[in-house]
Every structure is written in C-alpha cells, then in structure tokens.
Amino acid sequence: MSKKKKPLKTVIIEREEPIKEFDFSFKDEEENAKVIAILKDLQTHAGWRFMQEAFQKNIDYLSEQILEKYDAVSGKEYSEEEVDELRIKRRYLKEILEKPNYFIKELERKTEQEEDLDPYV
C-alpha cells in the first residue's frame, strides 16, 4: 500500500516581540578568555558528550519521523502541522548542540573586534 503524498504546508509562527540575542560584551579580554576556556572544557566533558549522543539520537529519530510522516511506535500518520512541529523540535535540538561552538566563535569575534578598534596601530 503506497501512501498518498500531501502537498507541503508552511506554518508561519509570528512573535509579538523579537528574540533578544545574548550580549557578548564582557568587561574585559580576560573575562572573554575565561568563558572561552570554560566552554572548551565543557565540550570535552563526559557529561556533555553523553548529552550530545542523546540529542543526536533524538535528532535522528525525529528526522526519520519527518521523512516517513509516520510514528512507528504508535502507528499514527502525522499531519503536515505535526511534521512542521517535529521539524521545529529537530532544529531546536541542533541549535542546542551547536551552542558551545556558537558562543566560542562570538566571544572570539568580539575579542578580535576590540583589538582592531585602534586606528593608529
């Protein structure tokens, strides 16, 4: 039995106020270096590695459900809205996995920008 493919539907989520970005302006370069070191240490910690593995398994499972549009556990076929919700969950998990790298890059970028501010050097 083949499943009939439904056209994709885009769900637009409107927010009343914009999401605020994290402010990476620490007081000094030492504080930036300290936070970068902490984040790099986090990336090598066994607890974070466990979390990465758990999140990746969830991402893989969600990807499978999104492609199949079917929940193998309950036997339920997903609607397009439910598939969009699964995509949002998957994207959120991917963002969580990338947060340490994102913060490190932003902090390093801030440090580089501060160093380049002097026009006489």
Tens of pLDDT, residue by residue over 10-32, are 555 566 666 666 666 666 788 88
Task: State the pLDDT at residue 84.
Answer: 93
CB burial of 23-57 (b: ≥16 within 10 Å; e: otherwise) equals: ebeeeeeeebeeebeebeeeeeeeeeeeeeeeeee
Tens of pLDDT, residue by residue over 38-77, are 999 999 999 999 999 999 999 999 999 999 998 888 889 9
Q: Is 69 left (phi over 0), alpha (psi -120 to 50) or beta?
A: left
| Three-state DSSP class for residue 78 | coil
Q: Once rounded to an integer, what is the mean pLDDT over residues 81-110?
A: 92
Task: State the pLDDT at residue 12.
Answer: 58
Domain limits, the chain? 29-113
Return all residues near 26 (Cβ < 8 A) that are at least 6 apart: 32, 35, 107, 110
Task: State the pLDDT at residue 14.
Answer: 64
